[in-house]
Structure 1
Amino acid sequence: MEARVGVGGGSGVVVETAATRKLFQQSQSQLGTVPQLLAGGIAGAVSKTCTAPLARLTILFQVQGMHADVATLAKTSMWHEASRIVNEEGFRAFWKGNLVTIVHRLPYSSVNFYSYERYKKFLQSVPSLRSNGDDVKKDICVHFVSGGLSGITAATATYPLDLVRTRLTAQRNAMYYRGISHALQTICREEGFPGLYKGLGATLMGVGPSIAISFSVYESLRTYWQAKRPNDSTLMVSLTCGSLSGVASSTVTFPLDLVRRRIQLEGAAGQARVYKSGFSAFGHIFRMEGLRGLYRGILPEYYKVVPGVGIAFMTYETLKSLLSRSESA
C-alpha cells in the first residue's frame, strides 16, 4: 500500500507530486491503511501550517488584480504586503483559512489513497497494461494514470473546502464569512449549490500537467544525479529533486491556479461577476495586467516548495516510526 500526501504545487490543489510519492514509497513500513492515512494527513497538515504565511501571501497577490489598478499593483512587494498584514490584521492573520486547510487534509488524503488503489487495480487488470512487475514502461503508465485520476477524484470530492479556504484567506479586515460552516451556508444561500464548485474546471485542467511535469522532471533529475554521484544520500537526492520538480510544476501551472482563485472569489460578498469562463478570465487578466499578471504571487509560491516537501516528509517519517512502535508494543 502507498501513503500519499499532497504538498501542493503550482496547481494549488493539493495534488500529490511525483517526488512526494517516491519519498513515501522509499519509507514504506508494514503500517496498516488507517495509520498510514493518519500519518499522511497529519504530515500534510503540519506542512501546510508551517508554510501558511507564504500560502496566504500567494493567494492575496493572486487576487489583487480584482481590487486594484495595475499601477498600484506594480508598487506592491512581498515585504510590503506582509507588513500590511501585521499592521492591519495582526500576526495571527497569516494563518487565516488554515483551519479549513487542515480539515481538508484527511478527507483529501483518504479519497486520494483509496481511489488510487482502485484505479491502479483496475488498470492492472487490463491485459495490455498487465506487467507483473517486469515491464517498467507499463508500470510507469499505470502509476501515472492512476495518480492523475485519483488527483482529479480527490480534488472534485473535496473542492468546496478548497473554495472556502480561498474566500477565508482572501478576507482582510471586513469579515464577511465567519468560519467554515458559515461560509458554506452563505455560499449555498447566495450563489446556489453550483457556487461551491466555481473554478473547478481550471483546477482539473491543472491536475494532469502538474503531475506530468513533476513526475518527468523528478525522474530525469534523480536519474542524472544518481548516475553522476551514486553515493549521495537518497534522502538528499529525493528532497532536492522533489523541490526542483515542484518549482518546475509551479512555474508552468501557476496561471491556471491564479485563474482558479479569481473565479473562486467571484460572487463573494455580493460582488458582480467579471469573468464569464476560465478562458475569458485568462484573456481579461492578460489584457489588463499583461503576462506578469498571470504570475502574480509566484515568488511566495516558490519559497514554500522546499520547506513544504521537507516538512511533510520529516513529519510523516516521525509519525510512522511512533505508530510502528505502538503497533508492535
Structure 2
Amino acid sequence: MDARVGALNAGHGGGAAAVDGGPSRITQQQEHEQQQQALQQQPQIGTWQHLLSGGVAGAVSKTCTAPLARLTILFQVQGMHSDVATLSRPSMWREASRIVCEEGFRAFWKGNLVTIAHRLPYSSISFYAYERYKILLQSVPGLDRHNDFVAADICLRLLGGGLAGITAASVTYPLDLVRTRLAAQTNVIYYRDISHALYTICRDEGVKGLYKGLGSTLLGVGPNIAISFSVYEKLRSHWQLRRPEDNTALVGLGCGSISGIASSSVTFPLDLVRRRMQLEGAAGRARVYNKGLFATFGQIVESEGLRGLYRGILPEYFKVVPSIGIVFLTYESLKRFFSGVPSDSE
C-alpha cells in the first residue's frame, strides 16, 4: 500500500451534495452554498508549502507505522521461494517475536531510511500533482461543471487522484523497489544500504531491474489513489455539512482511515504481486514469476489459492488506519500552520 499512503490529499474538502439520482443537477441550493463556503474557508498555501506539507506528512506516517509495514511485506513474500504446503498460518505475534529475537527491535525499521527518502518526493509530487491536475481537468468540457453535477465532480476526483498517483509512482519507483528489498532481508544481508542496493541491482540486473513490478504498480495505484481521494473527500464534505462544529483534524483522521480501508480491500492483490515482482532475481536468486503480470496472478492462485493474493492483509489493515489518519492529520495541520489559519482549538 505504499503507493497509496503518501498520495492522499486532504486539501479541498469538496464533495457532492444531495442528488436526485445519477448525474442529475443538484437541487438543494442552500446545501450547495454551504459547501462553497466551506471550500473558501480551506487553507490556501503556495507551491513549496504544498510540497513540504505532503512530504513531511508521508514521512511521519511511514515512520510511525514501519513495524506493521515490514510485517506486511514479510507475509506478502512468503511462499515465493519455499514450499507453500509447509508454510504455517501467518501470525503477527509469532513473526514479530522472531524479528525481535533474531534481528533485534530496531529491525522493525529496517529500510525506513529509504522509505523516508522515497516518501518525501513521492508525497510531495502526489499532493501537488493532485491540486494541479484538478485545476487542469476543470478546463475539460463537461468537467468544468463539477460544482453543479455529481457525475462530473466524481470524475474530476477520480481522474485527478489517479493521475497524481501514477505520476508520483513513476518518478520515485526505484526507491520503492530498494525499500522492498531492504525490508524483505532477514538474517542474510545482501544489500547494505540505499547506495549499495542501487549499485548492486544495476550491476546484477541492469537498469531495468530498478523498474521490476512497475506495471502492477501503475495498474494498482490509479484505482487505489482514486478510491482513497473519492471516499475521503465525499465523507469529509458530508460530515462537515452536517456537523460543521466538529474539529477538522478529527474529521480528517476518521475519514482518512475509512478511505484507506476501502482502497486497501480493493487493491491489495495488486500490491502483493508488485512486491513479489520487485524481489525477482534479488540476491542472485532464481526467477519465480517470469511470464508477465497476469501470468503471475494465475501462478499465485494455482499454488496458494485465492487466499494467497491476500497474504499479509491483516497487518495491512492494522497499519492503514493509523497510517492514513496520520497522513491527513499531519497534512491538514501543516497547511493550517503555513496559511496562518487558526486551528479549532485556539
Give the Å deviation of 1:124. 2.5
Decide whether aligned partners of structure 1 residues 203 and 136 sit closer, same or farther in structure 2, where only a CA change above 3 A counts. same
- How far apart, in 2, do the equivalents of 1:206 and 1:250 lie? 10
Decide whether aligned partners of structure 1 residues 270 and 117 sit closer, same or farther in structure 2, where only a CA change above 3 A counts. same
User: Does the Cα contact within 8 Å between 1:15 and 1:151 map onto a contact in 2?
Assistant: no
Select which of 184, 191, 197 maps to 1:183.
197
- How far apart, in 1, do the equivalents of 2:109 and 2:238 lie? 39
Select which of 290, 304, 315 maps to 2:319.
304
Give the Å deviation of 1:215. 4.3
Structure 2 counterpart of 1:110: 124
Give the Å deviation of 1:219. 5.6
Select which of 218, 221, 242 maps to 1:204.
218
Decide whether aligned partners of structure 1 residues 308 and 166 sit closer, same or farther in structure 2, where only a CA change above 3 A counts. same
Q: 1:244-280, CA deviations, whole angstroms, 9 ceiling, x for partnerless residues? A: 2211211111110000000000010111111121112
Structure 2 counterpart of 1:8: none
For residue 50 of structure 2, what is the amino acid of its counterpart?
Answer: Q
Select which of 329, 334, 342 maps to 1:314.
329
User: Does the Cα contact within 8 Å between 2:73 and 2:312 map onto a contact in 1?
Assistant: yes
Greater alpha carbon shift after TM alignment, 22-31 vs 66-75: 22-31
Give the Å deviation of 1:305. 1.4
TM (norm. structure 1) is: 0.85
User: Does the Cα contact within 8 Å between 1:13 and 1:203 map onto a contact in 2?
Assistant: yes
Structure 2 counterpart of 1:278: 293
**Structure 1 residues not aligned, in runs of 5+:** 1-10
For residue 168 of structure 2, what is the amino acid of its counterpart?
Answer: A
Decide whether aligned partners of structure 1 residues 294 and 21 sit closer, same or farther in structure 2, where only a CA change above 3 A counts. farther
For residue 245 of structure 1, what is the amino acid of its counterpart?
Answer: S
Cα RMSD (Å): 2.9
Structure 1 segment 4-153 matched on structure 2, within 5 A:
11-14=1-4, 20-21=10-11, 28-131=42-145, 133-153=147-167
Greater alpha carbon shift after TM alignment, 313-322 vs 166-175: 313-322
Q: Secondary structure at the match of 1:266?
A: coil
* Greater helix share, structure number: 1
User: Does the Cα contact within 8 Å between 2:160 and 2:226 map onto a contact in 1?
Assistant: no
- How far apart, in 2, do the equivalents of 1:54 and 1:316 lie? 22
Q: Secondary structure at the match of 2:57?
A: helix
Greater alpha carbon shift after TM alignment, 139-148 vs 255-264: 139-148
User: Does the Cα contact within 8 Å between 1:16 and 1:211 map onto a contact in 2?
Assistant: no
Q: Secondary structure at the match of 1:302?
A: helix
**Structure 2 residues not aligned, in runs of 5+:** 15-37, 341-346
Greater alpha carbon shift after TM alignment, 116-125 vs 264-273: 116-125
Decide whether aligned partners of structure 1 residues 216 and 153 sit closer, same or farther in structure 2, where only a CA change above 3 A counts. closer
Q: 1:227-258, CA deviations, whole angstroms, 9 ceiling, x for partnerless residues? A: 88776555444432332221121111111000
